[in-house]
Amino acid sequence: MGKKKSAFLLALYTLLIALLCFICVASFNYGENGMYTFSSILDLTKKDADLGAEYGANATYNGGGYSAVYYPEGVISAETYENELAGIADEAERAKYEAKYRAYQGGTLYLEVETACDEEGAVLESFASAFASAKEMFAARVARLNVDGARVSVRDDYTVEVFLPAMMENEYYALSRLVFTGELSIRYGTSEDAATDAFSIKRGETVADYVKSVSSAAGGGTHYLAVHFTDAGREAIAKATASAGSTDSESGTSTTNYLYFYVGDTAILSLTIGEPVADDLYISGSYTGETANVTAILLDSAIQGGTNDLSFTAGDALQIPAGYGENALMWLYISYGVVFVAMMAFFFVRYRALAFAQLYTYLLFTACTLLCVWAIPFLYLSVETYVAFLFTSLMLSAGNAMTFEAARKEYALGKTYASSVKTGYKKCLWKLIDLHIVVVVFAFLVYAIALPGIQTAAFVMGLTAVFSGLGVLLFNRFTWAMMAALSKKSGKLGNFKREEIEDE
């Protein structure tokens, strides 16, 4: 490579890396009165429920999550009880209200007599078992979300606390929808009030005899729900919706018909039906991947629901800071800085100016990793993904050091600089390929089988192992070649020395 060409390419490469570093880490306000904000990739990257800190141009808190408490019918919080009681002026009404509830666990909760407890305040067995099955259902729903950090807890024996990480795009939607309990029913009619059960479920049957499952899927950039009917369900829905799209022969007008999906007494979604439904239903709308998944989970679990299920109300929502402390993310960045400085110090001491080849490759590797973690929807920053990144960044650094050492050995034997680099790379090639293939295969298989967060870490490990392989075998070689072309004494570039042979 000629000197001018090398200098030009190196300058271009330097600019590219500087630009990548800038967009990855710099956040600032600009415009009149700082009206606009430029957010860095690092700022925009999702963080799991365990990492968080106040940072970015506007120092907003990133990380952690939200929790909400689900209260079953017949159970209210002490705060609600006291507020409602304080709002009743009439003495007789107050006494009536007081008689309606019994304090539970020293007044943490108030249970409604006959719904949740008896006159003495003892919890009814029927209520306790209904609550236990509702709790199982909530846990199953949240588990099916497959979100790292999502959690379901029983609070004070008879309420359910659900925690979802803030990295979800639709955590409010999830918390507000997953609370609905009861049986799935599909109703058909010209309005919500006039709609009747589409299946006309007979005694001894349940909706499960008509609806097999509800799932979510994506195709062509659109997320949708798929409602799968049994044979009986397909027949029943075709019969029920036979009038859809027909025109009144006398007036010549057509009526709009709707299909309503209920969970318990709550209408979850309504569809305009233009023609009879003869097969499985595919419902698209303004769904995102998350909202489609939440709705599918809700409707699918409601197939197993019953008319006697306890109904719940959501309340007491709080923002919970990150699990590893409020500034864990900042300390994570600092740890990266320390490791980076130590690694570069080693390379500069041992390889002098050649360490710039490692610096360029490493920065490119880091920037590409960050861009991917930001751009790939299911990836996010967590301690697990950070460990995976550290693992492959060690592979990259060790790989580069290995090629440098191999070239150094060849140079010491008396070969020319170019020949040493070439032979050094040739000797390391299959070793590096084998190492990277083994890690990539292992990581992607773990990704394919595991669930978040090991899954996310495994994907990051596989992806960055690919970057590491490309970095060592391609980009490091490229930078080295450009730098060698610019160097006056090539041997000095990597602190390479000839082997001294003593004359007899």
Q: Show the site string, 246-285: x = touches another protein by CB under 8 A, - = not.
A: ----------------------------------------
The Cα 476–Cα 126 span in angstroms is: 69
For residues 327 and 423, which CB has a smaller minimum distance to another protein in the complex?
A: 327
For residues 323 and 494, which CB has a smaller minimum distance to another protein in the complex?
A: 323
For residues 331 and 378, which CB has a smaller minimum distance to another protein in the complex?
A: 331
Q: Is 298 in the site for another protein (CB under 8 A)?
A: no
The amino acid at residue 30 is: Y
Beta strands 281-284 and 65-72 are: unpaired
SS3 state at 26: coil
The amino acid at residue 304 is: Q
Q: Output phi, psi for 480, to 5 deg.
A: -60, -45
97, 348, 391, 478: residue in contact with another protein (rule CB under 8 A): 391
For residues 63 and 233, which CB has a smaller minimum distance to another protein in the complex?
A: 63
Give whole-number Cα distances, 361 to 6, 130, 341, 430, in Å. Answer: 16, 60, 15, 20
The Cα 184–Cα 68 span in angstroms is: 24
Query: Is 304 in contact with 290 (CB distance < 8 Å)?
Result: no
The Cα 400–Cα 425 span in angstroms is: 10
For residues 364 and 443, which CB has a smaller minimum distance to another protein in the complex?
A: 443
Scanning residues 93 to 122, which ones bind another protein (CB under 8 A)? 105-106, 108
For residues 83 and 191, which CB has a smaller minimum distance to another protein in the complex?
A: 83
Scanning residues 306 to 345, which ones bind another protein (CB under 8 A)? 313-325, 327-328, 331-332, 334-336, 338-339, 342
For residues 324 and 356, which CB has a smaller minimum distance to another protein in the complex?
A: 324
For residues 322 and 484, which CB has a smaller minimum distance to another protein in the complex?
A: 322
As to burial, measured by CB atoms within 10 angstroms (0-12 exposed, 13-18 middle, 19+ buried), residue 308 is: exposed
Q: Give the dihedral of Cα atoms 432, 438, 443, 448; nearest 10 deg.
A: 140
94, 100, 151, 492: residue in contact with another protein (rule CB under 8 A): 151
| DSSP code at position 105 | T
For residues 114 and 136, which CB has a smaller minimum distance to another protein in the complex?
A: 136
Q: How near is the Cβ of 302 to another protein at its closest, in Å?
A: 16
Q: Terminal CA-to-CA distance of the chain, rounded, Å? A: 40
Q: Show the site string, 430-459: x = touches another protein by CB under 8 A, - = not.
A: -x--xx-xxx-xxx-xxxxxxxxxxx-xx-
Q: How near is the Cβ of 78 to another protein at its closest, in Å?
A: 6
Scanning residues 77 to 96, which ones bind another protein (CB under 8 A)? 77-79, 82-83
Q: Is 154 in the site for another protein (CB under 8 A)?
A: yes
Q: How near is the Cβ of 466 to another protein at its closest, in Å?
A: 15
157, 192, 205, 275: residue in contact with another protein (rule CB under 8 A): 157
Q: Which of 323, 211, 313, 325 is nearest to 261 (CA)?
A: 211
SS3 state at 118: coil
SS3 state at 423: helix
Give whole-number Cα distances, 45 to 62, 132, 145, in Å. Answer: 10, 38, 20
43, 300, 384, 410: residue in contact with another protein (rule CB under 8 A): 384
Query: Is 442 in contact with 450 (CB distance < 8 Å)?
Result: no
Q: How near is the Cβ of 317 to another protein at its closest, in Å?
A: 4
Q: How near is the Cβ of 454 to another protein at its closest, in Å?
A: 4
Q: Which of the ranges 145-153, 190-198, 209-217, 418-426 carries the binding residues for another protein, by CB under 8 A?
A: 145-153
For residues 297 and 322, which CB has a smaller minimum distance to another protein in the complex?
A: 322
Whose structure tokens read 């918390």? 175
Q: Is 378 in the site for another protein (CB under 8 A)?
A: no
Q: Output phi, psi for 187, to 5 deg.
A: -115, 150
20, 42, 50, 396: residue in contact with another protein (rule CB under 8 A): 50
Q: How near is the Cβ of 258 to another protein at its closest, in Å?
A: 17
315 preceded by a cis bond (ω within 30 of 0): no
Q: How near is the Cβ of 428 to another protein at its closest, in Å?
A: 10
Task: Find the helix or strand (DSSP H, E) in which 67 lies.
Answer: strand 65-72
The Cα 204–Cα 310 span in angstroms is: 21
Q: Show the site string, 392-421: x = touches another protein by CB under 8 A, - = not.
A: --xx-xx-----------------------
Q: Which of the ranges 29-37, 164-172, 222-230, 352-360 carries the binding residues for another protein, by CB under 8 A?
A: 164-172
Q: How near is the Cβ of 459 to another protein at its closest, in Å?
A: 11
13, 38, 97, 173: residue in contact with another protein (rule CB under 8 A): 173
Tokens linked to 3? 């000197």
Query: Is 266 in contact with 312 (CB distance < 8 Å)?
Result: no
Q: How far is CA 469 from the centre of its chain?
A: 27
Tokens linked to 253? 């007008």
Would the CA dihedral through 135, 137, 140, 145 be positive or negative? negative
For residues 393 and 490, which CB has a smaller minimum distance to another protein in the complex?
A: 393
Scanning residues 211 to 250, which ones bind another protein (CB under 8 A)? none
Q: How near is the Cβ of 238 to another protein at its closest, in Å?
A: 30
Q: How near is the Cβ of 445 to another protein at its closest, in Å?
A: 4
Q: How near is the Cβ of 168 to another protein at its closest, in Å?
A: 10
Beta strands 109-112 and 101-104 are: antiparallel
Tokens linked to 66? 């939200």
